Structure 1
Amino acid sequence: MTADVAREAAGALARHALELPALAGARTVAAYVSVGNEPGTLPLLDALLTRGARVLLPVLLPDNDLDWGAYAGEGSLARVRHGGKMALFEPSGERLGPDAVLGADVVLLPGLAVDGRGMRLGRGGGSYDRVLARLAGAGAHPALVVLLYDTEVVAHLPAEAHDRPVQAAVTPSGVRRFTDA
Protein backbone atom coordinates (compact mmCIF):
# COMPACT_ATOMS: atom_id res chain seq x y z
CA MET A 1 0.00 0.00 0.00
CA THR A 2 1.42 3.37 -0.94
CA ALA A 3 1.64 6.22 1.57
CA ASP A 4 -1.11 8.10 -0.31
CA VAL A 5 -3.46 5.10 -0.24
CA ALA A 6 -2.75 4.56 3.47
CA ARG A 7 -3.48 8.25 4.19
CA GLU A 8 -6.76 8.08 2.25
CA ALA A 9 -7.73 4.89 4.11
CA ALA A 10 -6.99 6.52 7.49
CA GLY A 11 -9.17 9.50 6.58
CA ALA A 12 -12.03 7.27 5.44
CA LEU A 13 -11.70 5.14 8.59
CA ALA A 14 -11.94 8.27 10.75
CA ARG A 15 -15.02 9.57 8.88
CA HIS A 16 -16.86 6.27 9.27
CA ALA A 17 -15.89 5.84 12.91
CA LEU A 18 -17.11 9.35 13.76
CA GLU A 19 -20.54 8.40 12.38
CA LEU A 20 -20.96 5.79 15.12
CA PRO A 21 -23.55 6.97 17.67
CA ALA A 22 -21.40 5.60 20.49
CA LEU A 23 -18.52 7.87 19.48
CA ALA A 24 -20.77 10.88 18.90
CA GLY A 25 -21.65 11.07 22.58
CA ALA A 26 -18.44 9.66 24.03
CA ARG A 27 -16.74 11.73 26.71
CA THR A 28 -13.82 9.29 27.10
CA VAL A 29 -12.46 7.03 24.38
CA ALA A 30 -9.73 4.45 24.91
CA ALA A 31 -7.88 4.14 21.61
CA TYR A 32 -4.41 3.37 20.28
CA VAL A 33 -1.85 4.74 17.85
CA SER A 34 -1.53 2.50 14.83
CA VAL A 35 1.85 1.02 13.97
CA GLY A 36 3.22 -0.93 11.04
CA ASN A 37 0.55 -1.96 8.56
CA GLU A 38 -2.41 -1.21 10.83
CA PRO A 39 -5.05 1.22 9.54
CA GLY A 40 -4.00 4.75 10.48
CA THR A 41 -5.61 6.13 13.63
CA LEU A 42 -4.12 9.63 14.01
CA PRO A 43 -6.86 11.41 11.99
CA LEU A 44 -9.47 9.76 14.21
CA LEU A 45 -7.61 10.57 17.44
CA ASP A 46 -7.27 14.21 16.41
CA ALA A 47 -10.95 14.44 15.40
CA LEU A 48 -11.99 13.01 18.79
CA LEU A 49 -9.85 15.63 20.55
CA THR A 50 -11.40 18.37 18.41
CA ARG A 51 -14.86 17.12 19.46
CA GLY A 52 -13.81 17.51 23.09
CA ALA A 53 -13.45 13.82 23.95
CA ARG A 54 -10.78 12.69 26.38
CA VAL A 55 -8.65 10.16 24.50
CA LEU A 56 -6.73 7.55 26.46
CA LEU A 57 -3.86 5.71 24.84
CA PRO A 58 -2.15 2.54 26.04
CA VAL A 59 1.29 2.24 27.54
CA LEU A 60 2.65 -1.30 27.34
CA LEU A 61 3.83 -2.66 30.69
CA PRO A 62 6.59 -5.30 31.06
CA ASP A 63 3.99 -8.04 31.70
CA ASN A 64 2.03 -7.07 28.51
CA ASP A 65 -0.76 -5.44 30.53
CA LEU A 66 -1.69 -1.88 29.59
CA ASP A 67 -1.41 1.34 31.56
CA TRP A 68 -3.06 4.45 30.07
CA GLY A 69 -2.18 8.08 29.43
CA ALA A 70 -4.05 11.01 27.89
CA TYR A 71 -3.52 11.98 24.26
CA ALA A 72 -2.87 15.68 23.71
CA GLY A 73 -2.02 15.65 20.01
CA GLU A 74 0.67 14.01 17.93
CA GLY A 75 3.37 16.04 19.70
CA SER A 76 2.48 14.34 22.99
CA LEU A 77 3.59 10.93 21.71
CA ALA A 78 6.92 9.22 22.33
CA ARG A 79 8.26 6.32 20.26
CA VAL A 80 9.04 3.50 22.68
CA ARG A 81 10.72 0.19 21.85
CA HIS A 82 9.78 -2.67 24.16
CA GLY A 83 12.50 -5.31 24.04
CA GLY A 84 12.40 -7.24 20.78
CA LYS A 85 8.87 -6.05 19.98
CA MET A 86 8.04 -3.35 17.48
CA ALA A 87 8.25 0.26 18.57
CA LEU A 88 5.00 1.79 19.79
CA PHE A 89 3.84 5.38 20.03
CA GLU A 90 2.75 6.04 23.60
CA PRO A 91 1.59 9.15 25.47
CA SER A 92 4.52 10.88 27.14
CA GLY A 93 2.54 12.41 30.00
CA GLU A 94 1.22 11.15 33.33
CA ARG A 95 0.38 7.47 33.73
CA LEU A 96 -3.22 6.93 34.83
CA GLY A 97 -3.06 3.24 35.78
CA PRO A 98 -4.53 0.11 34.18
CA ASP A 99 -7.99 0.86 35.61
CA ALA A 100 -8.26 4.19 33.75
CA VAL A 101 -9.90 2.27 30.89
CA LEU A 102 -12.88 1.58 33.16
CA GLY A 103 -14.09 5.14 32.58
CA ALA A 104 -14.17 4.80 28.77
CA ASP A 105 -17.46 5.10 26.92
CA VAL A 106 -15.88 3.47 23.85
CA VAL A 107 -12.82 1.24 23.48
CA LEU A 108 -11.24 1.21 20.02
CA LEU A 109 -9.33 -2.04 19.56
CA PRO A 110 -6.60 -3.08 17.15
CA GLY A 111 -6.88 -6.44 15.48
CA LEU A 112 -5.76 -8.68 12.68
CA ALA A 113 -9.31 -9.73 11.75
CA VAL A 114 -12.92 -9.93 12.92
CA ASP A 115 -15.61 -12.41 11.93
CA GLY A 116 -19.36 -12.20 11.39
CA ARG A 117 -20.02 -12.79 15.10
CA GLY A 118 -17.82 -9.89 16.12
CA MET A 119 -15.04 -12.15 17.38
CA ARG A 120 -11.73 -10.27 17.08
CA LEU A 121 -8.34 -11.81 16.42
CA GLY A 122 -5.57 -9.87 18.13
CA ARG A 123 -1.81 -10.08 17.78
CA GLY A 124 -1.51 -12.79 20.44
CA GLY A 125 0.14 -10.82 23.25
CA GLY A 126 -2.99 -10.84 25.41
CA SER A 127 -2.84 -7.12 26.27
CA TYR A 128 -6.35 -6.38 25.06
CA ASP A 129 -7.69 -9.68 26.42
CA ARG A 130 -6.63 -8.32 29.84
CA VAL A 131 -8.32 -5.00 29.14
CA LEU A 132 -11.56 -6.73 28.13
CA ALA A 133 -11.43 -9.00 31.19
CA ARG A 134 -10.80 -5.94 33.41
CA LEU A 135 -13.85 -4.22 31.92
CA ALA A 136 -16.04 -7.30 32.39
CA GLY A 137 -14.81 -7.85 35.94
CA ALA A 138 -15.69 -4.26 36.88
CA GLY A 139 -19.11 -4.44 35.24
CA ALA A 140 -18.09 -1.74 32.73
CA HIS A 141 -19.79 -1.96 29.33
CA PRO A 142 -18.21 0.48 26.89
CA ALA A 143 -18.87 0.06 23.19
CA LEU A 144 -16.14 -2.17 21.75
CA VAL A 145 -15.07 -1.30 18.20
CA VAL A 146 -12.26 -2.83 16.14
CA LEU A 147 -10.50 -0.80 13.42
CA LEU A 148 -9.50 -2.84 10.37
CA TYR A 149 -9.05 -2.90 6.61
CA ASP A 150 -11.93 -4.32 4.56
CA THR A 151 -10.05 -7.53 3.78
CA GLU A 152 -9.69 -8.24 7.51
CA VAL A 153 -13.43 -8.83 7.98
CA VAL A 154 -13.77 -12.60 7.49
CA ALA A 155 -16.48 -15.25 7.71
CA HIS A 156 -15.25 -17.15 10.78
CA LEU A 157 -12.44 -17.08 13.33
CA PRO A 158 -11.68 -19.54 16.12
CA ALA A 159 -12.67 -18.28 19.56
CA GLU A 160 -11.71 -19.25 23.08
CA ALA A 161 -13.76 -18.94 26.27
CA HIS A 162 -12.04 -15.69 27.30
CA ASP A 163 -12.65 -13.97 23.95
CA ARG A 164 -15.17 -11.10 23.95
CA PRO A 165 -17.02 -9.98 20.83
CA VAL A 166 -16.97 -6.41 19.59
CA GLN A 167 -20.14 -4.52 18.67
CA ALA A 168 -18.74 -3.06 15.45
CA ALA A 169 -15.88 -3.05 13.00
CA VAL A 170 -14.92 0.13 11.20
CA THR A 171 -13.08 -0.14 7.88
CA PRO A 172 -12.23 2.45 5.24
CA SER A 173 -15.41 1.48 3.36
CA GLY A 174 -17.84 1.64 6.28
CA VAL A 175 -19.16 0.24 9.54
CA ARG A 176 -20.27 -3.30 10.17
CA ARG A 177 -22.34 -3.91 13.31
CA PHE A 178 -22.60 -7.29 14.98
CA THR A 179 -25.96 -8.20 16.48
CA ASP A 180 -24.67 -11.14 18.54
CA ALA A 181 -22.13 -9.03 20.41
Structure 2
Amino acid sequence: MTTTEASAELRELLLSRIRDVPDYPQPGVVFKDITPLLADPVAFNALVDALAALCRRHAATKVVGLEARGFILAAPAAARAHLGFVPVRKAGKLPGETFGQSYDLEYGTAEIEVQKDAFAPNDRVLVIDDVLATGGTAEASLALVRRAGATVAGVAVLLELGFLGGRDRLERALSGAPLDAIVAI
Protein backbone atom coordinates (compact mmCIF):
# COMPACT_ATOMS: atom_id res chain seq x y z
CA MET A 1 0.00 0.00 0.00
CA THR A 2 1.19 3.47 -0.79
CA THR A 3 0.67 6.89 0.58
CA THR A 4 0.74 9.71 -1.92
CA GLU A 5 1.49 12.74 0.15
CA ALA A 6 0.84 16.08 -1.44
CA SER A 7 3.63 18.56 -2.02
CA ALA A 8 4.49 20.61 1.05
CA GLU A 9 2.71 23.61 -0.49
CA LEU A 10 -0.51 21.69 -1.23
CA ARG A 11 -0.42 19.96 2.16
CA GLU A 12 -0.08 23.33 3.93
CA LEU A 13 -2.91 24.84 1.87
CA LEU A 14 -5.28 21.94 2.55
CA LEU A 15 -4.49 21.65 6.26
CA SER A 16 -4.96 25.40 6.70
CA ARG A 17 -8.53 24.98 5.40
CA ILE A 18 -9.49 21.99 7.61
CA ARG A 19 -10.99 23.06 10.91
CA ASP A 20 -10.95 20.98 14.09
CA VAL A 21 -14.30 20.94 15.90
CA PRO A 22 -13.86 19.54 19.42
CA ASP A 23 -16.52 17.32 20.99
CA TYR A 24 -18.46 16.80 17.76
CA PRO A 25 -20.52 14.72 17.16
CA GLN A 26 -19.94 13.53 20.72
CA PRO A 27 -17.67 14.40 23.64
CA GLY A 28 -14.04 13.40 23.13
CA VAL A 29 -14.18 13.39 19.31
CA VAL A 30 -12.33 16.03 17.29
CA PHE A 31 -14.25 16.35 14.01
CA LYS A 32 -12.29 17.31 10.89
CA ASP A 33 -14.50 19.91 9.20
CA ILE A 34 -13.64 20.28 5.50
CA THR A 35 -16.30 22.90 4.71
CA PRO A 36 -13.75 25.79 4.83
CA LEU A 37 -11.66 23.87 2.27
CA LEU A 38 -14.71 23.35 0.04
CA ALA A 39 -15.54 27.07 0.23
CA ASP A 40 -12.05 28.08 -0.95
CA PRO A 41 -11.94 27.73 -4.76
CA VAL A 42 -8.14 27.57 -4.88
CA ALA A 43 -7.86 24.84 -2.24
CA PHE A 44 -10.87 22.88 -3.54
CA ASN A 45 -9.64 22.91 -7.14
CA ALA A 46 -6.14 21.89 -6.06
CA LEU A 47 -7.62 18.94 -4.16
CA VAL A 48 -9.81 17.91 -7.10
CA ASP A 49 -6.76 18.10 -9.40
CA ALA A 50 -4.78 15.85 -7.04
CA LEU A 51 -7.61 13.30 -6.83
CA ALA A 52 -8.14 13.34 -10.62
CA ALA A 53 -4.41 12.68 -11.06
CA LEU A 54 -4.79 9.60 -8.82
CA CYS A 55 -7.71 8.42 -10.97
CA ARG A 56 -5.46 8.58 -14.04
CA ARG A 57 -2.41 7.10 -12.27
CA HIS A 58 -4.39 4.03 -11.20
CA ALA A 59 -6.08 3.64 -14.61
CA ALA A 60 -9.53 3.89 -13.06
CA THR A 61 -12.55 3.65 -15.33
CA LYS A 62 -15.08 4.63 -12.62
CA VAL A 63 -14.93 6.52 -9.36
CA VAL A 64 -16.92 5.64 -6.23
CA GLY A 65 -17.77 8.31 -3.69
CA LEU A 66 -18.79 7.34 -0.17
CA GLU A 67 -21.77 9.07 1.41
CA ALA A 68 -21.79 11.89 2.13
CA ARG A 69 -18.61 13.97 2.03
CA GLY A 70 -16.99 11.48 -0.33
CA PHE A 71 -19.60 12.50 -2.94
CA ILE A 72 -18.37 16.09 -2.78
CA LEU A 73 -14.80 15.04 -3.59
CA ALA A 74 -15.32 12.05 -5.87
CA ALA A 75 -17.83 13.53 -8.33
CA PRO A 76 -15.67 16.50 -9.44
CA ALA A 77 -12.54 14.31 -9.47
CA ALA A 78 -14.33 11.83 -11.74
CA ALA A 79 -15.53 14.65 -14.01
CA ARG A 80 -12.06 16.18 -14.19
CA ALA A 81 -10.57 12.78 -15.09
CA HIS A 82 -13.39 12.18 -17.65
CA LEU A 83 -14.72 9.17 -15.74
CA GLY A 84 -18.10 8.05 -14.48
CA PHE A 85 -19.14 8.53 -10.86
CA VAL A 86 -20.93 5.91 -8.74
CA PRO A 87 -22.40 6.76 -5.34
CA VAL A 88 -22.17 4.29 -2.46
CA ARG A 89 -25.01 5.25 -0.14
CA LYS A 90 -26.53 4.38 3.19
CA ALA A 91 -29.00 1.49 3.00
CA GLY A 92 -32.37 2.30 1.46
CA LYS A 93 -31.26 5.45 -0.41
CA LEU A 94 -30.66 4.02 -3.91
CA PRO A 95 -33.40 2.99 -6.35
CA GLY A 96 -33.42 -0.37 -8.08
CA GLU A 97 -31.62 -3.54 -7.10
CA THR A 98 -28.63 -3.09 -4.83
CA PHE A 99 -25.89 -4.99 -3.09
CA GLY A 100 -25.59 -4.19 0.62
CA GLN A 101 -22.67 -4.52 2.99
CA SER A 102 -22.81 -4.16 6.77
CA TYR A 103 -19.93 -2.84 8.83
CA ASP A 104 -19.26 -2.11 12.47
CA LEU A 105 -19.50 1.31 14.02
CA GLU A 106 -18.33 2.36 17.45
CA TYR A 107 -21.85 1.91 18.81
CA GLY A 108 -23.50 -0.63 16.53
CA THR A 109 -23.57 -1.42 12.84
CA ALA A 110 -24.46 0.34 9.59
CA GLU A 111 -25.01 -0.74 6.02
CA ILE A 112 -24.05 0.81 2.69
CA GLU A 113 -25.27 -0.10 -0.77
CA VAL A 114 -24.37 0.17 -4.44
CA GLN A 115 -26.63 -0.47 -7.41
CA LYS A 116 -26.13 -3.94 -8.88
CA ASP A 117 -25.65 -2.58 -12.40
CA ALA A 118 -23.23 0.23 -11.45
CA PHE A 119 -20.15 -1.38 -13.02
CA ALA A 120 -19.15 -3.26 -16.13
CA PRO A 121 -17.05 -6.42 -15.61
CA ASN A 122 -13.88 -4.69 -16.87
CA ASP A 123 -14.27 -1.56 -14.69
CA ARG A 124 -11.38 -0.49 -12.46
CA VAL A 125 -12.78 1.49 -9.55
CA LEU A 126 -11.07 4.09 -7.42
CA VAL A 127 -12.91 4.64 -4.12
CA ILE A 128 -12.69 8.23 -2.85
CA ASP A 129 -13.62 9.53 0.59
CA ASP A 130 -12.78 12.56 2.68
CA VAL A 131 -11.25 10.97 5.79
CA LEU A 132 -9.81 7.55 6.54
CA ALA A 133 -10.36 6.93 10.24
CA THR A 134 -10.93 3.33 11.36
CA GLY A 135 -11.47 2.07 7.80
CA GLY A 136 -14.83 0.35 8.28
CA THR A 137 -16.73 2.23 5.59
CA ALA A 138 -13.89 1.95 3.08
CA GLU A 139 -13.53 -1.77 3.77
CA ALA A 140 -17.26 -2.30 3.20
CA SER A 141 -17.14 -0.30 -0.04
CA LEU A 142 -14.33 -2.49 -1.39
CA ALA A 143 -16.47 -5.56 -0.77
CA LEU A 144 -19.37 -3.91 -2.62
CA VAL A 145 -17.24 -3.00 -5.64
CA ARG A 146 -16.08 -6.59 -5.94
CA ARG A 147 -19.58 -8.05 -5.40
CA ALA A 148 -20.84 -5.79 -8.19
CA GLY A 149 -18.24 -7.35 -10.51
CA ALA A 150 -15.57 -4.67 -10.78
CA THR A 151 -11.89 -4.53 -9.87
CA VAL A 152 -10.62 -2.27 -7.08
CA ALA A 153 -8.05 0.16 -8.50
CA GLY A 154 -7.42 1.65 -5.06
CA VAL A 155 -8.66 3.97 -2.35
CA ALA A 156 -7.88 7.69 -2.18
CA VAL A 157 -8.66 10.01 0.71
CA LEU A 158 -8.10 13.66 1.44
CA LEU A 159 -7.03 13.04 5.03
CA GLU A 160 -5.76 9.91 6.79
CA LEU A 161 -5.94 9.87 10.58
CA GLY A 162 -3.13 7.36 11.08
CA PHE A 163 -3.59 7.04 14.84
CA LEU A 164 -6.97 5.32 14.28
CA GLY A 165 -5.51 2.37 12.37
CA GLY A 166 -7.61 2.45 9.21
CA ARG A 167 -4.67 1.67 6.94
CA ASP A 168 -3.87 -1.51 8.85
CA ARG A 169 -7.51 -2.58 8.72
CA LEU A 170 -7.67 -2.07 4.94
CA GLU A 171 -4.46 -3.92 4.09
CA ARG A 172 -6.16 -7.28 3.49
CA ALA A 173 -9.26 -5.78 1.85
CA LEU A 174 -7.14 -3.87 -0.66
CA SER A 175 -5.48 -7.10 -1.89
CA GLY A 176 -2.42 -5.17 -3.08
CA ALA A 177 -4.32 -2.17 -4.49
CA PRO A 178 -2.94 1.20 -3.36
CA LEU A 179 -4.21 3.40 -0.58
CA ASP A 180 -3.39 7.07 -1.23
CA ALA A 181 -3.78 9.85 1.30
CA ILE A 182 -3.33 13.39 0.04
CA VAL A 183 -2.56 14.39 3.64
CA ALA A 184 -1.71 11.97 6.47
CA ILE A 185 -1.60 13.00 10.11
Instruction: Name the structure with the higher strand share.
Output: 2
TM-score (structure 2 length as normaliser): 0.48
**Larger % of helix: which?**
2
